[in-house]
Amino acid sequence: MVAKLDVTKYPGNVINNKFVPTTKTRHSINPSTVEILYEVPVSTQDDVDKAVKHARTAFKTWSKTPFEERAKLLLAYADAVEANLDELEALLTKEQGKPLGLAHREFEMTIKWLRAFATMEVKEDILEENDERKIIQTFPPLGVCCGIVPWNWPVLLGLGKMGPALMTGNTFIMKPSPFTPYCGLKLGELGMSTFPPGVFQVLSGGDDLGPMLTEHPDINKISFTGSCATGKKVMESCSRTLKRVTLELGGNDPAIVCEDVDIEKIVPKIATLSFLNSGQICMLVKRLYVHESIYDRFRDAMVAFTKTMKTGDGFGKDITIGPIQNRMQYEKVKDMYSEISKCSWKVAFGGEIIKDASKGYFITPTIIDNPPDDSRIVTEEPFGPILPMLKWSSEEEVLERANSLETGLGASVWTKDLTRGERMARELSAGSVWVNSHFDVAPNVPFGGHKSSGIGSEWGMTGFKGHCNSRSVWVWKKVFD
């Protein structure tokens, strides 16, 4: 029997397969209505210590549990998530703001990812074998892993850390963002009836919870997704205990459109991949470089398509753009919009914030027409629905401009000439580069950033091995002959 969730009740953190209440509680809000949502736990150091202790104990058995058994449990867990899909998707829209269709897509991806993770076994390598000796590289788990999750894509990014940690034999503690704690806690609750105690735990809390985890001497790895600024603090804190750390940080992805494209065919895709989730995804198109010979026609087509994108409450009909997720981010995006008049940027579309924040954090999409390369809208990740379009003339020049920032998460080239596309793709400094697409991800494909966009990768065999130590076992065969 698969557990049925009541998404209105949050009795406590999920520690050792029990709800553990906290003295203090807090709540988040629905960003479409500013309505106060349910009370959730505020973890203390004591809660962290308890969860870590149980995770350590559970590790002794879980790390020895055969891969097939771990896979069976992860698949059962994916089924439990699927059985609660309607409630969970609505909860995600309520707490995160994204349109219901997008919440559905996030859950659909997550379930697919979990099922794929259940097939991904890290195999030992025999590096050498002869009459004299055998050398094997093995990949033992690290111990207790912890995932620190952001608010923009909290389900896939949370369980996208949990799956690889568990499948490689680690135990896992998940910390959702204080802005989106609800789905995370419910996903922990579903784990209670699937995994052995202490294997998968969830702690919710305030701003001080992240540092308690990164500082903890008995946590072996932090997998962090969030901003570049916080990522640096996480790494500094982890260095004190030499924890392993994977950082998935901010991006400012360029998309380069060549002169040979079919404008009408690709504009809907590029506009959608610029404004999806109100621009609050790390790997969206954030700088759109269009060849000068087609620039005006391309811009007009972008404007025409963007006009059809409806902004509003994620539960509304035909809504493609929800609110900005929280007040802090709303103020940051508003600040970027205030640059429009200060710097006299040309606006191709939008440019004004029409709604009153007391009724929801809505900002409609905006396209800035060819601003200078050194303007904030080009050099900073806005994490909101505002996109600069820029003109280019030579391949060499556009590649240099695309690579000129400190970020290097994703990048794309759009052209009918696949040889040229691949050649340009290989010149782009980013963890993921697409030809004629953007933001494709898959559970078997490593995902990470160059430069300030991160350290290490998640997913794929590379991500799985990031949850393991490397052990070289040398066996000498003839010593006693």
- The residues of the shown chain that bind ligand NAD, judged by CB under 6 A, are 148-153, 157, 175, 177-178, 210-211, 214, 225-227, 230, 233-234, 248-251, 282, 381, 383, 409, 449, 454
Pairing of strands 366-369, 347-349: antiparallel
For 156, residues 6+ apart whose C-beta sits below 8 A from its C-beta are 106, 109, 110, 113
Closer to ligand NAD by CB, 424 or 430: give it.
Answer: 430
Half-sphere exposure of 475 (CA within 13 A, CB side): 12
Q: SS3 of 52, please?
A: helix
Q: How far is the CB of 271 from ligand NAD (least distance, A)?
A: 20
What gap in Å lies between CA 149 and CA 223, rounded to an integer?
A: 8
Closer to ligand NAD by CB, 18 or 24: give it.
Answer: 24
Q: Which of 248, 339, 381, 458 is catalytic?
A: 248
Q: How far is the CB of 403 from ligand NAD (least distance, A)?
A: 18
Tell me the residue ranges of DSSP E strands in 143-293: 144-148, 171-175, 200-202, 221-225, 244-248, 253-257, 285-291
Half-sphere exposure of 317 (CA within 13 A, CB side): 0
For 173, residues 6+ apart whose C-beta sits below 8 A from its C-beta are 51, 52, 55, 144, 145, 146, 147, 201, 202, 203, 213, 219
Q: How far is the CB of 29 from ligand NAD (least distance, A)?
A: 15
Q: SS3 of 62, please?
A: helix
Q: How far is the CB of 152 from ligand NAD (least distance, A)?
A: 5
Q: How far is the CB of 43 from ligand NAD (least distance, A)?
A: 12
Catalytic-residue membership of 248? yes
Closer to ligand NAD by CB, 139 or 224: give it.
Answer: 224
| Residue type (1 letter), 131 | D
Closer to ligand NAD by CB, 12 or 463: give it.
Answer: 463
What gap in Å lies between CA 184 and CA 339, rounded to an integer?
A: 36
- Residue 394 burial (10 A CB sphere; 0-12, 13-18, 19+): exposed
Name the closest residue to ligand NAD (Cβ).
210
Comparing CA positions, the residue from 253, 413, 281, 271 lying closest to residue 349 is 271
185 near 204, Cβ under 8 Å? yes
Closer to ligand NAD by CB, 232 or 416: give it.
Answer: 232
Q: How far is the CB of 158 from ligand NAD (least distance, A)?
A: 10
470 near 125, Cβ under 8 Å? no
Q: How far is the CB of 89 from ligand NAD (least distance, A)?
A: 19
Cα R_g (the chain), whole angstroms: 23
Neighbours of 17 (CB within 10 A): 20
Which letter does DSSP use for residue 277 in this model? G
**DSSP alpha helix (H) spans, 276-417:** 295-306, 327-342, 376-379, 395-402
Closer to ligand NAD by CB, 73 or 156: give it.
Answer: 156
Comparing CA positions, the residue from 404, 153, 385 lying closest to residue 256 is 404
Closer to ligand NAD by CB, 159 or 261: give it.
Answer: 159
Closer to ligand NAD by CB, 178 or 446: give it.
Answer: 178
SS3 letters across 28-44: EEECCCCEEEEEEECCC
Q: How far is the CB of 429 from ligand NAD (least distance, A)?
A: 15
Active site residues: 248
